[in-house]
Structure formats: C-alpha cells, structure tokens
C-alpha cells in the first residue's frame, strides 16, 4: 500500500512538473501586470532620491522592452535590465508588504519569460 501511494505521489509530481514546463508564459500579460504593480507602488510610496530613481529605471526599461515587444521584437537584454531594475527596487526600497509581494511575484514570472526566448 505504501509503495502504491509513493508511486502515485511521484507520478503526480512528475505530471505537474511536465505541465508547468509545457506552459508558455504570456509576456504581454506579465509585463502589463508588472507595470501596474510598479505604478501602484510609486503612487503608494512617494520616494525621493535613489528610491525614486529605482522606480524610474524599472519603469523606463520595462516600457522600452514592451515597446519593442509590441513591434514583434523580443529584446532579451532589455528584459534582463528591467528584471535587474525591479529586483533592485524590491531589495533596496521601503515598500508596503503587499506591494513587495506583488513585485516579487512579477519577478518570478518575468524570469521564465526571459528563459523561454
């Protein structure tokens, strides 16, 4: 009985892993959500100096990537820069916990987008 349960558990985990690997992340959806989360954060937090510059960098590089993507060009370098900017913002800015979690989730979704292309 234990062997059967273990076999079924392993099969379920493998099936889940295969289905996750087969999913193609929608780059536009992830970019749009990240831009909304950045906008919510900047409106909520109101920063100065380096903190404000981190928002500007993240929004600017994400917009550059998005503009190219809408024209059919996937620029992995621009996406990598945007990911780095969002990570710097999460790591170094004072954020509301819910907004920090949202941006962390965005990072978790942006990385596979970069890896898939």
Dihedral sign of CA atoms 83, 63, 30, 79 in order: negative
Q: What is the DSSP letter of 72?
A: T
Residue 46 has pLDDT above 90, yes or no: no
Distances, alpha carbon 96 to alpha carbons 12, 38, 46, 100, 102, in Å: 37, 12, 12, 6, 10
For residue 11, pLDDT over 70 is answered with: no
Residue-averaged pLDDT of the chain: 82
């Amino acid at each position: 009985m234990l062997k059967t349960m273990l076999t079924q558990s392993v099969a379920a985990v493998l099936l889940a892993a295969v289905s996750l690997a087969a999913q193609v992340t929608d780059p536009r959806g992830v970019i749009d959500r990240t831009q909304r989360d950045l906008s919510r954060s900047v409106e909520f937090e109101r920063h100065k100096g380096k903190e404000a510059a981190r928002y500007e960098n993240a929004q600017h590089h994400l917009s550059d990537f998005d503009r190219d993507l809408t024209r059919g060009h996937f620029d992995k370098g621009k996406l990598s820069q945007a990911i780095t900017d969002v990570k710097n913002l999460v790591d170094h800015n004072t954020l509301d916990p819910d907004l920090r979690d949202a941006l962390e989730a965005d990072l978790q979704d942006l990385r596979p987008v970069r890896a898939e292309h």
